[in-house]
């Protein structure tokens, strides 16, 4: 995957580069040919004083008001200034920042695309160019996929400049570094490696930098795709970097010494390294008081287990080890299952599949119709399935609880993993009973222990054990106990604030 | 073959994990059936036998640490080659690997038997072995870091089983332990020897030691680990003595599981089913550590690549399990391990000490003679 870029590709693109000096008509012909007679490529010719000048640009990529005011008007009236028309004089006299001079055709072509305006004086050896880009983007909106009750509402947008602006305003420190990378040979995309210079671990930065540099792909579609290219293991089930659309979650990771990535045209950034617990962590835990924060975090953790285990346990208990169910419940389960002709395995998979269908349909449909979907699923299919004798009442409760629990995961990607894990576990439970579940659980544990994120263990602080980090990652404690950063992420400096000052207590009165 | 092992820093583990390694490898299938064997020898004073065994193991561990400290960072295989020379050293190393292998096999067979007895009477040995070997192989392919990690996390996720013992504890009869100190001393020693199979496994220390990052701190976690597992065996022993009558206990094979059988709650009944399947997580660290030690030893001795030896051993095990159908055959394997393992685990390290002493003296004399 991370092959070095080959030199040959660059050579292929080399065409007749040194075309200057050239007649204006000929230049126009060349440009039109390169752009396949694109009508949006504007090539304007003026005569200023005794010289002929061409101004060319792509219409929809530039801000035409600005070009009119800042470039065309002064240019056309240039001869009034009694100056000789040359690139140097233009650079000095146009009310713009110093433009750049370019003499290679391929450079001109690639810069035309990103919204530069070129001036060429006939007979010169180079062109002068100014950047007047116009980039359409939507305005900032509320976070949709990761909504919170408390805390900032803003979310990233598709504009990299806006995203960087948000991040920079959230971390007002000269230590914050945006390192630039271009990813993709077909259509290069701007990528920024974001980290705190005196906080983030050098190895992490270096690893990420190297993976970015050695990535050789034609194009990355989105930050989430780039994330998959950069992850440690492709075969593993679990997401290895933490993707988010919330700037607060992003900067929270960066200020704890992690490394972030922002990608052009993508409304999400991602944070590395991640641990299994960082996916269950929500910034809302911080905005709550610590007792509630701890409660919610543990609740989510239990919900994950619950969601994975409850349906397989139902299948295992009803197929093989029904003796573990207390007698009273066993009677009511028996009554409700009396009409069902299928084995529990088939019954459970059927219902779980219906639920997944509903969920998928709800996600694809427009919001207004989506609400109807929920009602159709919950009331019509649920009740009808029981009355038709397809499933038992108890299983509906079990499946609904497991779905509910899986919705609590703050990370949508991790939630999807949990959804996925359930199915093999249900089948194992149907084949081997409780033993199958324990087998599956052991397999998941081994799977997670083997996993690394950016070369760091996935299950830290549990393994490798860092007991002092428990109150930063697994639960929350009052702030005077969190005077240090989590050691698991190996930041360069671990101290956040003075512990003595935080512990200072006043006497009564 | 080099005597000392050099480990890359990324592959080493903290001394802290020795606690979990030692106690995990000691608590396995042995403890399910151990009370009966100890009880037939030492009767109601069995708990004294366990304490005697504990004291003996502590001395043994001191001896092991003494041997290990004679070298920079060596393991059993290196030390044996250093003492006995290439040929004999390698032979002894091979015997050690065979010992680990037979222990592995006996654990696997015993667990399969328990599963067949409690859950699925006709579950074929081969199918169950394949399931377990998938887990074991998947772990070992991750390297020592994963082996230790899995040991550690499975230890944490099965420790709650101890609390279920509270239920039989409330219903036991403390008077069953009285009168105390009635058993003769030789019987107590015989009882102590009956714990050999249960409490063995700590010899892994002699193999894993070079991988420890902070070797000067290795002693405390090791001793705590042994103390913890002895405590569990002791607890189970006392509860079994109090719970069952003396006549019954001499005939109950899997007394620990029977203890769990009586525990039940309003939301769950027949807890023994859950305990039996959870026991997979208890024996998995045993199997993983033993098999890792075997393939690592084979690489040390014969430079056999770990991936090849792993598949070879797996194939051998999957063939051999099919030949053990009945309970008494499994007991025979366990007996063999208990009998021969006793000498390898409990006696052999003491024999090394005088040899090392003599050798050191001889080396010194030679060194001063030439210099």
Residues A450 and A473 reside in one and the same domain: no
The length of chain B is 371
Residues of B with CB under 8 A from a CB of A: 14, 16-17, 115, 119-120, 131, 134-135, 138-139, 142, 145-146, 149-150, 152-154, 156-157, 264, 266-271, 273-274, 277-278, 280-281, 284
**pLDDT value at A85 more than 90:** no
- Mean per-residue pLDDT for B226-234? 95
Q: Is A457 on the interface with B (CB under 8 A)?
A: yes
Q: Is the ipTM of this complex over 0.85?
A: yes
Residues A446 and A313 reside in one and the same domain: yes
Residues A422 and A479 reside in one and the same domain: no
Q: Is A39 on the interface with B (CB under 8 A)?
A: no
- The span from the CA of B76 to the CA of B96, in Å, is 9
Q: Residue B257: inside a domain, yes or no?
A: yes
Q: At A152, give phi and psi (nearest 5°).
A: -60, 145
Q: What is the pLDDT of residue A82?
A: 76
Cα A73 to Cα A69, A78, A84, A100, A452, distances in angstroms:
6, 8, 17, 20, 59
Which of the four pLDDT bands, split at 50, 70 and 90, describes residue A4?
very low
Burial class (CB in 10 A: 0-12, 13-18, 19+), A228: middle
Instruction: Select the residue of A321, A439, A446 nearest B280 (Cβ to Cβ).
Output: A439
- The span from the CA of B35 to the CA of A506, in Å, is 59
Q: What is the pLDDT of residue B368?
A: 66
- The span from the CA of A321 to the CA of A492, in Å, is 53
- The span from the CA of A268 to the CA of A262, in Å, is 7
- Mean per-residue pLDDT for A2-24? 58
Instruction: Please indicate whether, in this complex, the C-beta atoms of B280 and A438 are within 8 angstroms of each other.
Output: yes
Domain finish residue from A274, A289, A317: A274
- Mean per-residue pLDDT for A376-394? 81
Instruction: Provide the domain limits for residue A104.
Output: 7-131
Instruction: Please indicate whether, in this complex, the C-beta atoms of B150 and A449 are within 8 angstroms of each other.
Output: yes
| Residue ranges of A 314-353 with Cβ closer than 8 A to chain B | 320-321, 323-327
Q: What is the pLDDT of residue A450?
A: 93
Q: Residue A297: inside a domain, yes or no?
A: no
Instruction: Provide the domain limits for residue B346.
Output: 9-353
Instruction: Please indicate whether, in this complex, the C-beta atoms of B138 and A323 are within 8 angstroms of each other.
Output: no
Number of domains in chain A: 4
Identify the bridge partners of residue A270 per DSSP, sorted by sequence position. A243, A261
Which of the four pLDDT bands, split at 50, 70 and 90, describes residue B371?
very low
Kindly report the nearest CA distance between residue B97 and chain A, in angstroms. 25
Q: Where are the strands (E) in B204-267, listed by range?
A: none
Kindly report the nearest CA distance between residue A323 and chain B, in angstroms. 6
pLDDT single digits (tens) A201-252: 999 999 999 999 999 999 999 999 999 999 998 888 899 999 999 999 999 9
- The span from the CA of A276 to the CA of A458, in Å, is 6
Residues A435 and A320 reside in one and the same domain: yes
- Mean per-residue pLDDT for A398-402? 89
Q: Residue B368: inside a domain, yes or no?
A: no
Number of domains in chain B: 1
Does A10 or A411 have the greater pLDDT score?
A411
Residues A451 and A474 reside in one and the same domain: no
Residues A260 and A207 reside in one and the same domain: yes
The C-alpha torsion from B129 through B134 and B138 to B139, rounded to 10°, is -30
Q: Residue B361: inside a domain, yes or no?
A: no
Q: Residue B369: inside a domain, yes or no?
A: no
Q: What percent of chain B has pLDDT over 70?
A: 99
Q: Residue A390: inside a domain, yes or no?
A: yes
- The span from the CA of A173 to the CA of B48, in Å, is 67
Residues A20 and A64 reside in one and the same domain: yes
- The span from the CA of A250 to the CA of A268, in Å, is 9
pLDDT single digits (tens) A468-486: 888 888 888 888 888 888 8
Tokens of A40: 């949006």
DSSP B52-72: HHHHHHHHHHHHHHHHHHTSS
Residues A18 and A52 reside in one and the same domain: yes
For position B166, which CATH number holds? 1.20.1740.10
Residues A230 and A200 reside in one and the same domain: yes
Residues A28 and A101 reside in one and the same domain: yes
**pLDDT value at B188 more than 90:** yes
Instruction: Please indicate whether, in this complex, the C-beta atoms of B153 and A321 are within 8 angstroms of each other.
Output: no
Q: Which residues on chain A are in Cβ contact (under 8 Å) with B268?
A: 324-326
Kindly report the nearest CA distance between residue B167 and chain A, in angstroms. 16
Q: Residue B363: inside a domain, yes or no?
A: no
Q: Residue A146: inside a domain, yes or no?
A: no
Residues A335 and A251 reside in one and the same domain: no
Q: Which residues on chain A are in Cβ contact (under 8 Å) with B15?
A: none
Residues A101 and A174 reside in one and the same domain: no
Element (H, E) at A211: helix A202-214
Instruction: Please indicate whether, in this complex, the C-beta atoms of B281 and A442 are within 8 angstroms of each other.
Output: yes
Interface test with B, best of A446, A450, A464 (most B CBs within 10 A): A446
**pLDDT value at A13 more than 90:** no
Average of per-residue pLDDT values in chain A: 87
Kindly report the nearest CA distance between residue B82 and chain A, in angstroms. 34
Q: Is A431 on the interface with B (CB under 8 A)?
A: no
């Amino acid at each position: 995957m991370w092959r070095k870029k080959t030199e040959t590709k660059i050579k292929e693109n080399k065409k007749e580069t040194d075309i200057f000096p050239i007649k204006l008509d000929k230049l126009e012909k060349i440009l039109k040919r390169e752009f396949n007679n694109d009508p949006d490529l504007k090539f304007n010719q003026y005569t200023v004083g005794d010289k002929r000048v061409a101004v060319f640009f792509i219409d929809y990529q530039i801000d035409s008001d600005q070009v009119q005011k800042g470039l065309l008007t002064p240019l056309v009236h240039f001869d009034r200034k009694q100056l000789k028309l040359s690139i140097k004089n233009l650079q000095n006299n146009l009310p713009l920042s110093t433009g750049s001079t370019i003499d290679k055709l391929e450079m001109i072509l690639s810069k035309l695309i990103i919204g530069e305006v070129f001036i060429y004086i006939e007979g010169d050896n180079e062109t002068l160019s100014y950047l007047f880009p116009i980039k359409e983007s939507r305005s900032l909106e509320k976070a949709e996929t990761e909504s919170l009750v408390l805390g900032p509402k803003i979310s990233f947008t598709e504009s990299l400049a806006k995203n960087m602006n948000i991040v920079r305003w959230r971390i007002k420190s000269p230590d914050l570094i945006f390192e630039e990378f271009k990813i993709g040979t077909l259509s290069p995309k701007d990528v920024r490696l974001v980290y705190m210079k005196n906080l983030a671990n050098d190895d992490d930065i270096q690893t990420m930098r190297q993976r970015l540099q050695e990535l050789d792909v034609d194009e990355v579609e989105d930050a989430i795709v780039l994330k998959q290219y950069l992850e440690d293991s492709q075969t593993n089930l679990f997401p290895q970097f933490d993707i988010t659309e919330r700037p607060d979650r992003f900067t929270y990771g960066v200020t704890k010494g992690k490394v972030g990535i922002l990608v052009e045209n993508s409304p999400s950034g991602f944070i590395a390294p991640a641990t299994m617990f960082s996916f269950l962590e929500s910034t809302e835990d911080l905005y709550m008081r610590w007792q509630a924060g701890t409660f919610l975090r543990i609740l989510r953790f239990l919900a994950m287990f619950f969601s994975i285990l409850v349906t397989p346990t139902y299948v295992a208990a009803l197929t093989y080890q029904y003796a573990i169910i207390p007698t009273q419940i066993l009677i009511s389960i028996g009554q409700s299952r009396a009409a069902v002709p299928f084995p529990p395995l088939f019954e459970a998979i059927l219902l779980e599949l219906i639920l997944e269908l509903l969920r998928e349909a709800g996600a694809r449909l427009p919001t207004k119709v989506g609400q109807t979907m929920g009602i159709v699923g919950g009331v019509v299919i649920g009740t009808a399935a029981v009355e038709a004798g397809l499933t038992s009442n108890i299983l509906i409760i079990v499946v609904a609880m497991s779905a509910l629990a899986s919705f609590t995961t703050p990370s949508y990607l991790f939630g999807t993993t949990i959804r996925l894990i359930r199915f093999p576990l249900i089948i194992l439970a149907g084949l081997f009973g409780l033993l199958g579940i324990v087998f599956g659980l052991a397999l998941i544990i081994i799977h997670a222990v083997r996993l690394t994120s950016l070369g760091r263990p996935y299950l830290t602080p549990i393994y490798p054990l860092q007991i002092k980090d428990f109150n930063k990652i697994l639960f929350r404690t009052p702030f005077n106990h969190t005077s240090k950063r989590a050691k698991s992420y190996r930041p360069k400096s671990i101290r956040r604030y003075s512990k003595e000052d935080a512990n200072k207590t006043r006497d009564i009165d | 073959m080099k005597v000392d092992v050099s480990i890359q820093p990324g592959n080493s583990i903290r001394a802290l994990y020795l606690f979990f390694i030692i106690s995990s490898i000691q608590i396995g299938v042995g403890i399910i059936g151990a009370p009966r064997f100890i009880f037939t020898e030492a009767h109601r004073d069995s708990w004294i036998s366990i304490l005697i065994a504990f004291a003996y193991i502590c001395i043994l561990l001191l001896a092991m640490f003494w041997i290990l400290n004679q070298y920079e960072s060596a393991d059993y295989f290196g030390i044996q080659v250093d003492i006995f020379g290439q040929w004999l050293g390698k032979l002894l190393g091979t015997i050690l690997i065979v010992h680990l292998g037979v222990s592995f096999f006996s654990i696997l067979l015993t667990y399969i038997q328990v599963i067949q007895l409690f859950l699925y009477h006709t579950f074929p040995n081969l199918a169950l072995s394949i399931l377990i070997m998938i887990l074991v192989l998947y772990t070992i392919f991750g390297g020592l870091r994963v082996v230790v990690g899995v040991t550690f996390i499975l230890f944490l996720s099965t420790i709650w089983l101890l609390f279920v013992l509270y239920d039989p504890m409330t219903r036991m009869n403390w008077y069953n332990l009285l009168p105390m100190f009635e058993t003769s001393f030789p019987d107590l020693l015989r009882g102590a020897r009956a714990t050999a199979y249960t409490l063995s496994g700590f010899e892994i220390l002699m193999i894993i030691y070079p991988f420890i990052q902070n070797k000067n701190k290795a002693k405390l976690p090791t001793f705590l680990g042994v103390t913890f597992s002895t405590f569990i065996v002791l607890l189970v022993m006392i509860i079994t003595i109090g719970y069952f009558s003396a006549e019954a206990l001499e005939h109950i094979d899997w007394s620990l599981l029977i203890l769990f059988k009586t525990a039940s709650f309003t939301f769950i009944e027949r807890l023994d089913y859950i305990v039996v399947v959870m026991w997979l997580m208890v024996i998995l660290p045993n199997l993983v550590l033993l098999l890792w030690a075997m393939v690592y030893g084979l690489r040390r001795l014969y430079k056999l690549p770990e991936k090849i030896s792993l598949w070879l051993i797996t194939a051998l095990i999957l063939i051999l399990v099919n030949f053990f159908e009945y309970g008494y055959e499994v007991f025979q394997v366990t007996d063999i391990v208990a009998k021969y393992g006793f000498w390898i685990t409990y006696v052999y390290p003491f024999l090394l000490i005088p040899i090392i002493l003599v050798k050191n003296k001889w080396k010194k004399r030679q060194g001063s003679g030439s210099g």
